[in-house]
Structure 1
Amino acid sequence: MTEKLYDQDAYAVEFDAKVISCEAYQEKKESGYHVILDRTLFFPEEGGQSPDKGTIDGIEVTDVQIKKDVITHSLKEPLAVGETVHGIIDWTHRFNNMQQHSGEHIFSGIVHSRFGYDNVGFHLSDNIVTMDFNGVLTADEVREVETAANEVIVKNLPVEITYPSKEELKTLDYRSKIEIEGQVRIVTIPGVDVCACCAPHVKKTGEIGMLNVQSLSNYKGGVRISILSGFRALEEERKKSQVISSISGTLSANQELLPELVEKLKQSNQDLKYKLAQAKQKLVEQKMKEIPADQENVLLFETDLDTPVMRNAINGLVETHAGICGIFVEKEEGGYNFIIGSKTKDCREIATLLREKTGARGGGSAAMIQGSVSAEEKDLRELLA
């Protein structure tokens, strides 16, 4: 067993330890050394939380894993077995994770006490915290929980860590996501939450600072909620504020008027798209009228046409031309999107020909095919002639 120094003091940053083993590894495209110490401050990836970051003797720790109470550190360079080494954890990363995890306990505890739902899925990455609850919450209910969570934070309640005996656990009402073997570590926020947890936490709820809900979605019969706490929540709010300020400046409008203005711009954009589509339709129809009626095959090469316009054009062309009728529209990245139709030819054979000769993609019915192709206009005309 590795001595877990983070259990003894979640606020400690540096430590000394003895190297028990150091073994080279090669996994897919990554390689390095797996190092086991007799003791460590590095919290491993466990309980849905990402591992600590930092260095050991100046070498970056790229990963930390735990198996059967033995913690393994991944490093790019080896360490001498038997030597005493000095480790330093990334305190900013550690404290951010502590804020997130303690915030999650508050949020989940409130949901459990008010609605009776369990947190059945938890993930704490370097960017977001997600919680899956086995019951449905409305947006209004989530806002209520968010407000209540921030009220708990303001109260600056203690976050207590205890190790109850098996007998004590039998009478203790606590949340636990999985069956736990061995000693159970209980994290208690008085009057708010009691939960089995292995991770470092803040000493008092006031250190969390703030908690913001980022998203709510239905998930497996319940809901998935994403939150951010502390400095990560502050940074996310700054980003959102910068985006809103930028949009406000671009549109020369006060922030409170942005929703209404954006809705108007959206409607205006839809109206313009409709008018443009009508204009393109008329332009193509004019070109179609100029094609000799006795011309059997018709191939049009155009730019910037929508699929409905292309399809309408083909439907019109096959009524007056007996051969192959096709429209090819240039793509930004090169090549063409195409629709080909015919009342006398099997268009599936044309699709096969294009696929074999040009690597075209797509398909359809005997009457009409649709797809994309990377080829020159000259080559396509010769091929379909």
Structure 2
Amino acid sequence: MAFQCQRDCYMQEFVTSVVSCCPGELKLETNGKKEKVKGFNVTLKDTILFPEGGGQPDDRGTIEDVAVLRVTRQGPEAVHFVGSALEVGAEVQLKVDWERRFDHMQQHSGQHLVTALADTMFGYKTTSWELGRQRSIIELDTATVKPGEMEALERAVNEKIRDHVPVTVQLLSLDDPAVEKVRSRGLPDDHAGPIRIIEIEGVDTNMCCGTHVSNLSHLQVIKILGTEKGKKNKTNLIFLAGNRVLKYAEKSYSIERSLTALLKTGADDHVEAVDKLQKSVKVLQKNNLNLLRDMAVLIAQNFKSNPNRGNLFCLHRKDGDNEFMNIIANEICTEDTVVFLTVGEEKGAGLFLLAGPVGIVDKLGPRVVELLEGKGAGKNGRFQGKANRMGRRAEVEALLQEHSRLRSSEEE
């Protein structure tokens, strides 16, 4: 059967009843990490919350003010995952997150329109598509597109939008001869019930389970951002539809204003201004690197010229790097001197280098890594790596000073 969300894509509230409610688990992504959440899988007599399918993500909404975290289709049923149990047989009110739903409707109908006209105008078939969070991608079955084709395609799709072309839905039985004439990439293995056909009058007839606008005018506008090379001789067409175009324009203007304030130039000169800045930064970085190299040599020579230098040298510098540390270690004779160098933030993460007699470095290197809570490796009298707790340098220096004192006592 078709769900209520498919029969009336514009319905935002709906009353139905709970058919089943069973404990379940769901993997949710939070701050880039997937975590298992315990809750309940609920099936309803009918639903206005669309389950994921046809390239369209699932809806969000509420059942009796309980948040619906996921909607999936299992055969003829839509399964709603919620955090609280619902009483079987109870009447419940559903509300759909309309902003999310209407956005999906605009992108999905927009994809049908772009796909149909790309085929009609240039013979480019659509092999797949992705409704992304910020922009959508249509994979075209062509290795390249010719100059001017995307501009012509964009003009054509927006002309159809201005023409207020109706979009209608039909439900056909699987054995209806009309099904054979409909564009389709095939039905899922667990499909049940009638075939749902989306028709853009005079433009396209397509088999689809998703939610769609009832008239192309509801798309407002489509912007084709461009194309990029896809996989296996495909081309990815990137587009925005409806409210996403407005949000993109608003965001772009905000960025433009910020860049104008920072660069002190008009929008037309932003690229040139940034190019000049990048070149200046490269020159400054090169000069800074040369200065660090010279400084490293001077630091080492100053230590070596000190008659009371001892057999331990420790130094931290915020703006150094691995090369800076290695120059110092190379300049100081580490056959009889232990060198401990660190670069980076005073108490954050950074880099370290321990150099000296092979036996001492092999013995103390792992302990230094442990104290700095980092990672490292060593050979031939060098042990270096990453430190996560640079604030513990003093503990490392105390360890090395104690070892140096014992070493001096033994030599006496």
Q: Give the TM-score range, shorter chain.
A: 0.7 to 0.9
CA-CA distance at 1:258 after TM superposition: 0.9
- The residue aligned with 1:212 is 223
- The residue aligned with 2:6 is 7
- The residue aligned with 1:203 is 214
Mapped partners of 1:137, 1:348: distance in 2: 58
CA-CA distance at 1:237 after TM superposition: 1.7
Asked if the contact 2:124–2:141 (Cα under 8 Å) also holds between the matched residues in 1, the reply is no
For the pair 1:35 / 2:42, whether they are aligned, the reply is yes
Task: Report the 3-state secondary structure (helix = DSSP H, G, I; strand = E; otherwise coil) of the residue aligned with 1:52.
Answer: coil
Mapped partners of 1:133, 1:86: distance in 2: 41
Mapped partners of 1:139, 1:332: distance in 2: 55
- The residue aligned with 1:67 is 74
Mapped partners of 1:62, 1:171: distance in 2: 37
Mapped partners of 2:145, 2:360: distance in 1: 54
CA-CA distance at 1:33 after TM superposition: 3.2
Which of 172, 182, 185 aligns to 1:176? It is 185
Mapped partners of 2:61, 2:81: distance in 1: 11
Asked if the contact 2:296–2:327 (Cα under 8 Å) also holds between the matched residues in 1, the reply is no
Asked if the contact 2:198–2:208 (Cα under 8 Å) also holds between the matched residues in 1, the reply is yes
- The residue aligned with 2:20 is 21
For the pair 1:309 / 2:324, whether they are aligned, the reply is yes
Mapped partners of 1:83, 1:281: distance in 2: 76
Alignment of 1:39-188 (within 5 A): 39-113=46-120, 114-120=122-128, 122-137=129-144, 140=147, 142-165=150-173, 166-169=175-178, 171-172=180-181, 174-176=183-185, 181-182=191-192, 183-188=194-199
> For residue 158 of structure 1, what is the amino acid of its counterpart?
P
CA-CA distance at 1:256 after TM superposition: 0.8
Asked if the contact 1:33–1:76 (Cα under 8 Å) also holds between the matched residues in 2, the reply is yes
Task: Report the 3-state secondary structure (helix = DSSP H, G, I; strand = E; otherwise coil) of the residue aligned with 1:339.
Answer: strand
Mapped partners of 2:213, 2:133: distance in 1: 17
Task: Report the 3-state secondary structure (helix = DSSP H, G, I; strand = E; otherwise coil) of the residue aligned with 1:290.
Answer: helix
Asked if the contact 1:296–1:321 (Cα under 8 Å) also holds between the matched residues in 2, the reply is no
Percent identity of equivalent pairs? 24
Asked if the contact 2:38–2:83 (Cα under 8 Å) also holds between the matched residues in 1, the reply is yes
CA gap 1:192/1:296 in 2 versus in 1, 3 angstroms: farther
CA gap 1:102/1:359 in 2 versus in 1, 3 angstroms: same
CA gap 1:188/1:35 in 2 versus in 1, 3 angstroms: same
- The residue aligned with 2:380 is 366
Asked if the contact 2:318–2:346 (Cα under 8 Å) also holds between the matched residues in 1, the reply is no
Which deviations, in whole Å up to 9, do the C-alpha atoms of 1:319-352 show, x marking residues without a partner?
Answer: x865444431132552541234568669666543
CA gap 1:153/1:315 in 2 versus in 1, 3 angstroms: farther
Comparing 107-116 and 35-44, the one that deviates more: 107-116
CA gap 1:143/1:291 in 2 versus in 1, 3 angstroms: farther
- The residue aligned with 2:205 is 194
Mapped partners of 2:141, 2:177: distance in 1: 28
CA gap 1:378/1:25 in 2 versus in 1, 3 angstroms: closer
CA gap 1:212/1:201 in 2 versus in 1, 3 angstroms: same
CA-CA distance at 1:164 after TM superposition: 4.2
Asked if the contact 1:244–1:255 (Cα under 8 Å) also holds between the matched residues in 2, the reply is yes
Task: Report the 3-state secondary structure (helix = DSSP H, G, I; strand = E; otherwise coil) of the residue aligned with 1:235.
Answer: helix
Comparing 128-137 and 237-246, the one that deviates more: 128-137
Asked if the contact 1:297–1:321 (Cα under 8 Å) also holds between the matched residues in 2, the reply is no
> For residue 159 of structure 2, what is the amino acid of its counterpart?
E
- The residue aligned with 1:289 is 301
CA-CA distance at 1:169 after TM superposition: 4.9
Asked if the contact 2:21–2:42 (Cα under 8 Å) also holds between the matched residues in 1, the reply is yes
Alignment of 1:190-269 (within 5 A): 190=201, 192-214=203-225, 216-221=227-232, 222-269=234-281
Mapped partners of 2:143, 2:159: distance in 1: 23
Gaps of 5+ in 1: none
Asked if the contact 1:136–1:218 (Cα under 8 Å) also holds between the matched residues in 2, the reply is yes
Mapped partners of 2:141, 2:360: distance in 1: 54
> For residue 381 of structure 1, what is the amino acid of its counterpart?
E
Asked if the contact 1:297–1:322 (Cα under 8 Å) also holds between the matched residues in 2, the reply is no
CA-CA distance at 1:243 after TM superposition: 1.2
CA-CA distance at 1:365 after TM superposition: 4.4
